[in-house]
Structure 1
Amino acid sequence: MDEKYWAPHVWGHLRFGEFTGNGYDSSVDSFEAVYANYFVKYIEAYAQYGIPIYVITVQNEPSNAAHWPAMIWTLKEQASFVSQHLRRALDASYPETKIYINDDSLHALDRPIDSSISDEQAMKIDGLAIHTYQVPHENLFNGVRSYSHWQLGMTERRCMMNEKVEDASRIMFGTIGNWLVRNGLNFVTLWNLALDERGLPNAADSIGRRGVVTIDHHTGKVQRNLEYFMLRNFGQDVSLGATVIHSSDYTENGIEGGIGSAAFLGINGDITIQLYNPNAHARAASVGLAGNGNCWQTVTMPAWGTVTCHKSNRDINVSNVPADDSFKLNPTPTNNFE
């Protein structure tokens, strides 16, 4: 295409305070009200298939000027939209659906969140959604130390096909499974559940991204990535309803130093401890319970790996992981959808 036909992308906002032309009732006819009803239609559509929606966010990565349909939202704008329109729209039909704001990397939390959101607005918001692509991770505390009723959800992260084992381990086991869990993380979702050996499909014009599992698009063969094992650690080892309890931790940021840990107390008295080794060599660890005297277990931590210890009043899930299939990855710029 001739250069004169190209124009820069323009990323805008919702047309706040304007009307759709159908009237002047801000609770019905404003663009914000119409957009809030769009969320209701989305939830209704899934409900027809028997799929309940637990939580929604105002927008994925609202600071990202993406080239797909997207808008820029500040935290202040998100809070205003939720408190004045979205919460009211959901309360009329799906009051159980929760609303989280941010849904962005931690660079967006560059100041205490109560400087952008009032106490009244915060009462209509259920939680904070974060990604962990950008640092500083300590910005998390700008978002989680203002409103105690909020939950914290990790709503997106992924690794690359060419990521070294130690780098992927530090992301999944260190940052997410150790540091974020110890600092209040309530749930984890990852981008993406399954991609093929080329990193497709995606709409990001990028190559080499990987999912929780990789599926060969010709044969259907499956390879399980480190992301799979991070999720498996929690899904298999930690009982439903468990809460995080204090445990010793020797890796302040989750990716350097000594052995890290995250400990959980189950509703029936189970204790589960996940240990993480952020180092290139195996390390021995002795695990004990406060008030119970001698060492409970002695384990050897593999390089970049995890070990789970249990003190359980129930049967422990010891199911094995199926063997991976063998096929080559192809994260190259020549990929297409054929």
Structure 2
Amino acid sequence: MISPISSSPAFLLTACLLATTAHAQKSVDVYLTAKDSGERLSKVATLSLGGRGVLTEKEQRIFVDPAKTFQTLLGIGGALTDASAETYFKLPVEKRRELIRAYYDSEHGIGYSLGRTHINSCDFSSASYTYVAEGDTALKTFSIAPDEKHRIPFIKDALAAVKGPFAMYASPWSPPAWMKDNNHMLRGGKLKPEMRDAWARYYVAFIQAYEKAGIPIWGLTVQNEPMAVQRWESCVYTAEEEKDFVRDHLGPVLAKSGMADKKIVIWDHNRTWIFQRAQAALNDPEAAKYIWGVGFHWYSDDAFDNVRLVKETYPQTHLLFTEGCNFPYDRTKLSDWNWGELYGRSMIKDFNNGADGWTDWNVLLDETGGPNHVKNFCYAPVHADTQTGELMYMNSYYYIGHFSKFIRPGAKRVISSSTVDRLLTTAFKNADGSVAVVVMNSSGEAQAFALTIGQQSVPVSSPAHSILTLVVR
């Protein structure tokens, strides 16, 4: 089985990168992914921190302070959808093993530690479906049989490769059609007031069924994209309706069912409205007591500051990036370098603004950007050509890996400050004491900088259009 991650360096950084100091106290392992090179998460050097040197205003530096800590990392990962699972089972067995190792093995892959899946069907299903018969508010017919052919075996294969903590959460795209005022799973509509209790019990039935199947569920989001009327599975909640549903139904029903430990995440939509939706729910103490955090997507303006505002206003509330992908799909553009840089920029800024975790959308799609029953095709970090069995790794896979492989669950974010805008950075201190510093250069020119921690420093060069992870031990 061939790992998609390069294991031997073919790229030499500049001479200054290789500088060492005899009296250095800490080593720095350097991992690189760079455009127009063969480097993909390649270990290219081991450096040593030495003297700090003379500081000058024009010198580019990354200052790291491991003593000042912020949020604790929940995990980094992607969504295990019907589309991903169906594509997975079209692959030869050896390619399935390669994919699982590439994503979930922390040594030979990128060590995903967070997963999302869907309750009922979503757009990335081959058809719409639910788990109960029409009108069954008692949920006597509840069955996850639609998931048992592909999705559940796929998730279990992924979990079997994980070493260490893994958090799986679930999101509904739509209740059954008969629970909604438009009598349809697609095109928006609202949950009927008289169905709120039955719908809350539906989440409990899902958790029980999945856990019986061997898949622990860490938490739930209330509704995927509750402000959007989509041509696929969707359901609209106002801020007040979402708050009331959590306060009066979902929270109490989970508690009554012995599931008070399951985390509830509200919003699960774009950063643009995150503060207003958080404010509406978290200003109500009776609703807030059930809410673990606020989820968000990237499908509108960046609005990174809105994430920060939620954290500053509600410091005890957790923040979770729940979905992002690039679209529309065009197979001829799989190798475009900008896809990975969009991920790197978002992850750095979301973490620096307080996010506890970061979840990509589909972990795997086919050569068409699907399957998808409404032709809403998009990119995934890995695509499979189901005709040839080939796996195609986009650069976004490697960019995500620069975080997920080296920043592990339980890590604490620490200060990482860049003196120039062209070098984006974030850093985390892992439980083993190592500090992972991510530095992204999306400019068209190499950027020399000095990594500085306390009174020690080492010169580094970041190639044009590259991302580095510097692991300090």
Q: Distance in 2 between matches of 1:236 and 1:266?
A: 11
Cα separation, partners in 2 of 1:41 and 1:112, compared to 1, 3 Å:
closer
Q: 1:225 aligns with which of 379, 385, 394?
A: 394
* Partner residue in 1 for 2:339: 168
Q: Distance in 1 between matches of 2:197 and 2:324?
A: 31
- Conserved? CA contact 1:165–1:304, under 8 Å: no
Cα separation, partners in 2 of 1:10 and 1:48, compared to 1, 3 Å:
closer
* Partner residue in 1 for 2:373: 203
1:111 pairs with 2:282: no
1:134-164 Cα offsets, whole Å, 9 max, x none, are 1133222343333222211111111244377
* Other structure's SS at 2:370 match: coil
Q: Distance in 2 between matches of 1:69 and 1:157?
A: 17
Q: Distance in 2 between matches of 1:204 and 1:153?
A: 27
Q: CA deviation at 1:222?
A: 0.5
1:278-307 Cα offsets, whole Å, 9 max, x none, are 2122211210102xx242x32221222211
Cα separation, partners in 2 of 1:246 and 1:268, compared to 1, 3 Å:
same
Deviates more, 1:269-278 or 1:142-151: 142-151
* Partner residue in 1 for 2:39: none
Cα separation, partners in 2 of 1:68 and 1:298, compared to 1, 3 Å:
same
1:190 pairs with 2:367: no
Q: Which amino acid aligns with 2:305?
A: E
- Kindly report which structure 2 residues correspond to 1:23-34, keeping only aligned pairs within 5 A, or say none: 31-34=195-198
- Kindly report which structure 2 residues correspond to 1:96-107, keeping only aligned pairs within 5 A, or say none: 96-107=261-272
- Conserved? CA contact 2:229–2:235, under 8 Å: yes
- Kindly report which structure 2 residues correspond to 1:223-302, keeping only aligned pairs within 5 A, or say none: 223-250=392-419, 257-290=421-454, 293-295=455-457, 297-302=458-463
Q: Identity percentage over the alignment?
A: 26
Cα separation, partners in 2 of 1:112 and 1:40, compared to 1, 3 Å:
closer
- Kindly report which structure 2 residues correspond to 1:306-325, keeping only aligned pairs within 5 A, or say none: 306-312=467-473
| Aligned residue pairs, count | 281
- Conserved? CA contact 1:247–1:263, under 8 Å: yes
* Partner residue in 2 for 1:93: 258
* Other structure's SS at 1:88 match: helix
Q: Distance in 2 between matches of 1:90 and 1:142?
A: 29
* Partner residue in 1 for 2:201: 37
Q: Which amino acid aligns with 1:63?
A: M
- Conserved? CA contact 1:250–1:260, under 8 Å: no
1:172-217 Cα offsets, whole Å, 9 max, x none, are 00122x111111111111111101111011234234x111201001
Q: Which amino acid aligns with 2:320?
A: G
* Partner residue in 1 for 2:188: 11
Q: Distance in 2 between matches of 1:186 and 1:230?
A: 18
* Partner residue in 2 for 1:304: 465
Cα separation, partners in 2 of 1:173 and 1:218, compared to 1, 3 Å:
same
- Conserved? CA contact 1:285–1:299, under 8 Å: yes
Cα separation, partners in 2 of 1:163 and 1:279, compared to 1, 3 Å:
farther
Q: CA deviation at 1:100?
A: 0.1
Cα separation, partners in 2 of 1:51 and 1:154, compared to 1, 3 Å:
same
Cα separation, partners in 2 of 1:219 and 1:102, compared to 1, 3 Å:
same
Cα separation, partners in 2 of 1:265 and 1:110, compared to 1, 3 Å:
closer
* Partner residue in 2 for 1:148: 315
* Other structure's SS at 2:464 match: coil
1:63 pairs with 2:227: yes
- Conserved? CA contact 1:157–1:191, under 8 Å: yes
Q: Which amino acid aligns with 2:285?
A: D
Cα separation, partners in 2 of 1:259 and 1:270, compared to 1, 3 Å:
same
Higher strand proportion? 2
Q: Distance in 1 between matches of 2:399 and 2:285?
A: 36
Q: Which amino acid aligns with 1:11?
A: G
* Other structure's SS at 1:56 match: strand
Q: 2:290 aligns with which of 109, 121, 124?
A: 124
Q: CA deviation at 1:250?
A: 4.9
Q: TM-score, normalised by structure 2?
A: 0.56
1:47-104 Cα offsets, whole Å, 9 max, x none, are 1211011121111111110123321112222121111111111122322211100100
Q: Distance in 2 between matches of 1:113 and 1:241?
A: 25
Cα separation, partners in 2 of 1:110 and 1:97, compared to 1, 3 Å:
closer
Q: Distance in 2 between matches of 1:121 and 1:43?
A: 21
Q: Which amino acid aligns with 2:192?
A: R
Question: Using CA pairs below 8 Å that are at least 6 residues apart, which structure has the higher relative contact order?
Answer: 2
* Other structure's SS at 2:248 match: helix
* Partner residue in 2 for 1:76: 240
- Conserved? CA contact 2:293–2:319, under 8 Å: yes
Which structure 1 segments of 5+ residues have no match?
A: 1-8, 19-30, 252-256, 313-338
Q: Which amino acid aligns with 1:187?
A: G
1:1-56 Cα offsets, whole Å, 9 max, x none, are xxxxxxxx86322122x3xxxxxxxxxxxx21111001111111211211011121
- Conserved? CA contact 2:335–2:394, under 8 Å: no
Cα separation, partners in 2 of 1:284 and 1:165, compared to 1, 3 Å:
farther
Q: Which amino acid aligns with 2:198?
A: V
